[in-house]
Structure 1
């Protein structure tokens, strides 16, 4: 099944915004985003295997297996000016997918928006997590579905996805010799995010030969839930300075 979900198809888009969800998240996280933007903007959400309509598919536990598949689908799309936006784990997946797109010669991705995640450190090593560690990590970040961990049935349903996604991001190592991106980079973060500070988000400036901008919002790791419209408009604004 396709990785790409269109909540509002656009016949001849002037611009495409591709959204990569966080660990445990799905394409439905971005369901309302088309309504925030001009009808000429096509919002495409990435749906990872093992969740939502792909529940029966095998989970993918490594970045090297996941990002090439997403990049291949994006390469098959009609090339229009494109912005990639990833939140938390999705920021790393979007970055790795863009590296592969640019390596294949794609020039239509003009911007990468990285939200709620610092620049991955190549040498970082994270010890294996127990299920209780995972639940504690997820609930500490809040988010729109934090209450599911209080329900035993939902907990057992979603634990395999969380285990998989945290394994993927914990074992991910950014290549030290990765080429600089040609696309511009925009870093977005909440001022009370326990995982990344606004200063830490500035490190993303080192991955691009293009322009770099950063924006800080009021809120925690899931600041983009109450600020969704503003984030969506900022991501696709040509100047990168729009404040809705």
Structure 2
């Protein structure tokens, strides 16, 4: 079966040396991938490359067999994303914001906006201006926008930002259900490793712009360790240069 997402030797360097290098990974149908790494490791850079928000210096990204650089519209036609911030027009209602988003998806079924607002718990507040929303409510609205067109791949950058404990449990359940019942694939960047361990099927650990470990959660936690412990062990191992000097 063709991968939902295929990343081959992607590299991007910014002035000062920050960025990502030689990153390769594949996401399959209904897989839930967690992307873990310290601040500045390159997680958001990678997500921006995967969604066409910035261009890689080298390598390739394909979504559903379409190259993100050469055929952006086809690549993103079955995907959605929430990167960095939950933006919305604050002087408009949640319902009105989603109607604007819906204009990018011709043929969206009648009632889909109400359906996703119910799904994220904003149905009762759909006509309130977003300026009166809490941070958690704004995050739920952004997630509603990402779900609107029933994407087959959803890329999320710190989706639990602003969510309380109840909201985190809700999101965890939503991700599991969509993957299980609708075959939706996810790539989720998060610092909440303990939460992600309960929902992810796969994990990818990056540090200093490189992938240092990836695989199924079972593979990463082999030996009975937690995903958090596996992450700490991976990111704290000596860097390549250090390993060479001590060899």
Q: Which has the higher contact order (CA 8 A, sep 6+)?
A: 2
Task: Mark the structure with the bigger radius of gyration.
Answer: 2
Q: Which has the higher strand share?
A: 2
Tell whether the structures are fold-level matches, with TM greater than 0.5. Answer: no
